[in-house]
Each structure stands twice: as C-alpha cells, then as structure tokens.
Amino acid sequence: MDFFHLKENKDKRKSVSGSPKLGPAKPAKLEIGIESPPLVLYGPMASSTGALLSGQLILTVSDEEVKLQHFEMQLLARTTTKKPVSKDCPDCRTHTTELFKWNFLSELGRFPKGRHSFPFSYLLPGKLPATTNATLGAVDYVLSAKATTPLQDNIVVESSLKVYRALLPGNDRTSLRIFPPTNLTATIILPPVIHPIGEFNVQMRVSGCAENEGTSQRRWRIRKMNSRIEEHTKMISPPCPKHVHKVGGEGKGILSTETRVLGIKDYKDGWKSDFDTQGGLIEMEFSASIKPSSNPICDVDAPTGLSITHNLVLELIVAEEIVSLKNTKLVTPTGTARVLRMQFVLILTERSGLGISWDEEQPPMYDDVPASPPSYAKMVDYEGEPLPDDELARLT
C-alpha cells in the first residue's frame, strides 16, 4: 500500500509542476468598436474618393486607477507574400506600412475604474487596394492600439478591417477580332463588369463565313465552341534590406505567377447560321458564370507587387465545306479546319448594391416646414373687482 501511495503523490507533483503559469492580470483592457458602415471604395483607383472609417477605442479599467504614459493606435497596411526571397525571414514575408496614427495622450494620464471611450475617424484613400487573400500573396488592414504604463506594461489590441472595392456598371463593351488569311471576323459584346456570384451574357457575331464561287459556295461552319474564365495572379516579392543581395540589388524582386480556371463550358449547338446574307453570318448568345467553389478573387492592382486579372477565353473550331447553290443538301467537306482563339479582359468586382460614395451623401432636406404653434390672444390688464383668494389660487 505504501508503494502505491508514494506513486500517487509523485503523479500529483508532476501534474502540478507541469501546469501552465498564468501571468499577472492586466490593470485594464482595450476594445475597438467600428461604427462606420462597410468600407467600400466606389469606382476605380484613379477616381475613387475613398471610404470613411469611424469608431471608438474603449479602455476598460479593472483596478481602482491606472496610469498611462503612452496611448496610441495605428492603421497598418500589411502585404504578405507566400513565396518570399528568404523563406525563414519574417521581414521578407511581410511588409507593413503605417497609413495613419492616433495619439490619445500628450502627457501622463490617470484613468479611474470604469469604461473610457476615445473616438477616432479617418478617410481611407481611394487608391488603396482592397483586402485580398490569394495563393501567392495577401493584402490586409489592421487597427493596432497600445497603451503603456509607467512600469512599461503594455496593453495591446488588434482588429482587422476588410476593405472592398466596387465598380459601378456602365455601357457594354464591344470587341472585334479578325482572323487572316480568312475573311472571318468576330464581334463580341461583353458587360463592363462581372461579379463573383451570378451569370453574365455574352453576344457573339461571326461574319465573313461564306463566299460564293460561281454555282457553289464556300462556307465555314462552327463545329464546337469552348468558353472558360481564367484568373491570373502575379506577385513580385521584394527582399528586406538584409537579403537585397539575393535578387541583385534594390528595386528588384522575385516574380511568381499562377493561372486558375474559374469556369469552363463546351457548346456543340446554340448558334444560328445564315449563309444567305452577304458574306454569311453566325450569331450566338450564351451565359457564362464563375463556379462558386473556385473562390474567385476580385481584380487587384496593388503598388506593393500583387496583381490579379481575369480573362474570358473563347475557342471556336470551324470546318470548311463547299455547298452547291443548285442543291444545298449537296455538301462536300474540304478537310480544312481552324481553331479561332479569342481572349477578352474581364473586370471582376464586388456588387455596389444600393450604396453610394460618402461624398455623394446629402443630409435630409426639410422643404415642408410645419405650421407654427398657435399664437396667444392679445393680453389686457384686468380692471374689475378684486378676485377672491380661492380664484387667484386656481389661476396661479
């Protein structure tokens, strides 16, 4: 029995010694509360007026009193590359830029027990890139607050901000492609912007697909069409000052690229062919979309090196044939086929919804002013007999 009792005591001492040690409780804590609506940058980077950020930094003191020597908050922009110049160097992996800084104390401050709020606001510039998390790099924004006591005890808090960019829709874009040495010409009509969720229509018109040669006609027929949406990511990873020599000097970096297919579809019919018109005409309208499971990323062109673009790629397989004008059922394939490949730029952006830019908001206009309260009748002095005391008390 003594042996088992001794073993049990050793196990208890081991569990007590192995438990984590809790540090001293902080005299206060910090919280960041955002009061502004979602941070949406409307319009392109060159003309966007930015987004308003506002909120409160809350200091909750748990002791009877706390003294603070420094009290500040920073708005930071962080660019992280997934393929840094030096794999084990944190400075090569993450580059931080301070966008703004708030200093809430100019001298030693004393704060009693309770909650103390410090309002803050900032206008995010419209040229900032949106928050992005791609496979090759990431751009994010952080509010970092720190309070320091005279004993150099730091109280810190961080809060992430998500910044969006929304481009307003406009007129459709028309693109023209020519395929020499043939007479084939393709006209494509695309929407100005597309969105991560939802379909968009594409109109295609192919002309120059028929040519009369005496009693016969030489035609180009579409046998198959393929459409796909590609996402191209490019990241230039700059080095930190310690590893500049690895890339051959300042101002250089490592270029990484990646291409993903966000949506693909094959078509074997759906177009209308009209070979009776001059030059022949083939028309088609179809819908394209992005697979939700592909996790698409909106277009980004960050000055820190991250760039994301999107393309619509169309591939048409056309075959040549000769048809007798006397008997159109008499078709002779020539054995000649071509692949017509076209590539168009797509602009992928968030939906703007019903939101508008902060500078276009107006306060309410009070056009209809209600009638004023009724005015009192003309007052005159009482000149009659003295009133009794109970009547005077009732009037007063």
pLDDT tens digits, 270-282: 999 998 888 899 9
Task: Give the global pTM.
Answer: 0.77
Query: Which of 279, 290, 282, 292 has its CA nearest to residue 225?
Result: 282
CB 129 within 8 A of CB 301: yes
pLDDT at 354: 59
> What's the rounded Cα separation, in Å, for the pair 281 and 359?
48
Select from 230, 202, 198, 199 the least CA-distant residue to 286: 202
pLDDT (0 to 100) of residue 370: 54
Residue type for position 252: K
pLDDT (0 to 100) of residue 97: 92
Collect contacts of 289-293 with beta carbons under 8 A, ≥24 apart: 289/198, 289/199, 289/200, 289/263, 290/194, 290/196, 290/197, 290/229, 290/262, 290/263, 290/348, 291/262, 291/263, 292/196, 292/197
Question: What pLDDT sits at residue 378?
Answer: 66
CA separation for the pair 99, 103 (Å, rounded): 14
pLDDT value at residue 20: 54
In degrees, rounded to 5, the angle at the alpha carbon of residue 208 between the alpha carbons of residues 206 and 212 is 140
147 Cβ neighbours under 8 A, 6+ residues apart? 28, 30, 59, 68, 70, 71, 154, 155, 156
Amino acid at 94: T
Pairing of β 272-274 and β 281-289: antiparallel
pLDDT < 50 stretches in the chain: 1-10, 12, 14-17
pLDDT of the residue at 174: 94
Segment 243-258, tens digit of pLDDT? 888 887 777 888 999 9
CB-CB contact of 187 with 174 (8 Å): yes
